[in-house]
Amino acid sequence: MTVFLQTAHAANPSIIQNYTTNLRHEQHEIWYVTTRHLPQYKGLQDSVGDIGYYKMEGKSWNKKQSSEFHAAENMDTMIVVHGSPATVSLVSEVCLDVYQHIQVIIPDNKKRMRFVIWSWPADRQVTGLVKEFRDQARRSQPQGYYLGRFIDQCRIKNDTVVVGYSMGARVASCALHLLAGGTSEFTPAITAQSENKVTYLIIAGAINRDWLEPGQHFGKALNVVDRFLNVYNSTDPLLKRYPKLYPKSQSRPDAAGFLGLHSHANLETFGIPIEEINVSAAAGKSHDIRYITRDTETLKKIWTRSLQSAFGDN
């Protein structure tokens, strides 16, 4: 039965009905999966079953059961985890623009693919740029628990690519860290169901440059990854301010999305391809992911170095 979204409640976001796009192939799917209505800090384990699932069918978004999403097999899946601050409206617009942009690099024979917009509570909740940035930084890690549980189910039957953009890189890195048996003071642990690895892509990541290294904050994340690509912009005006997340009395690290990874040598122990692309020429002084994805030559590099290995076949 078709269910039309009619309220502004986050679990039933009618506003996404205003945003649709054309699919490259009939068998492509676009999903909007949301945790905006779920507890942000407590009761995470008890709320996983309440994650909201919506599928774009024609020009409408229809509510679905989680079982329908996770029943799919051999459906190559790209999960895009947005940054912050971001309303439902902005997330819908930006992510669908990104899907349109990447169509130019998706081969014609890639007829079965699923594009997932992962929508977490990244609305502005405090005032002031630095206070807001710190608030969202705290909020992002509990969201990693929800995402980790979702990825774990998805990867059982489907090749999976996880894209963490801006503060979404914190959500995604925490999720992968938990799936690898890591711990976080902000979340419960996760007992993984699957050992299948995922491809990980960070774009303009708002995480410390060394956080993916062994022993660091998300130091186990790359244990569940088969290929990692970091896309950074050394002219990004927002990430230039990243050190202000930390008090002046502490060391003030830069972001992986601004200056790149701290040490490739320290990541070699994971035994996977580790690559980076500086997209400052294409993106310029912007933090908007669309300044990156609308550049065809940059997308071709991302496809070759990251996505082709996961999505190269049918």
For residue range 17-37, list pLDDT tens digits in order. Answer: 999 999 999 999 999 999 999
- Asked if residue 3 belongs to a domain, the reply is no
Give residue 306's pLDDT band: very low, low, confident or very high (50, 70, 90).
Answer: very high
pLDDT of residue 137: 73
DSSP one-letter string for 232-273 = E-TT-TTGGGGGGGS-TTS--PPBHHHH--S-HHHHGGG-S-
pTM of the model: 0.93
Is the peptide bond prior to 85 cis by the omega test (within 30 degrees of 0)? yes
Answer whether 91's CB lies under 8 Å from 143's CB: no
- Asked if residue 8 belongs to a domain, the reply is no
Region 271-291: mean pLDDT is 97
- Asked if residue 68 belongs to a domain, the reply is yes
pLDDT at 129 over 70: no
Least confident of 70-84, 277-291, 298-312: 298-312
- Asked if residue 7 belongs to a domain, the reply is no
Q: How many domains does the chain have?
A: 1
> For all residues of the chain together, what is the average pLDDT?
91
- Asked if residue 266 belongs to a domain, the reply is yes
Least confident of 5-9, 173-177, 242-246, 288-292: 5-9
- Asked if residue 209 belongs to a domain, the reply is yes
Tell me, what CATH number does 85's domain have?
3.40.50.1820
Q: Please count the CA atoms within 13 angstroms of the CA of 271 that sit on its side-chain side.
A: 3
pLDDT at 126 over 70: no
Number of neighbours of residue 134 by Cβ within 10 angstroms: 15
Please name the residues in contact with 175: beta carbons below 8 A apart, sequence gap of 6 or more.
144, 145, 147, 148, 151, 162
- Asked if residue 28 belongs to a domain, the reply is yes
- Between the CA of residue 125 and those of 12, 132, 136, 157, 294, what are the distances in Å? 20, 7, 9, 37, 30
Residue-number span of the structural domain to which 154 is assigned:
14-311
For residue 49, what is the DSSP state?
G
Answer whether 220's CB lies under 8 Å from 177's CB: yes
Answer whether 311's CB lies under 8 Å from 250's CB: no
Quote the percentage of the chain above a pLDDT of 70: 92
Q: Please count the CA atoms within 13 angstroms of the CA of 95 that sit on its side-chain side.
A: 29
pLDDT at 264 over 90: yes
Higher-confidence position of 290 and 247: 290
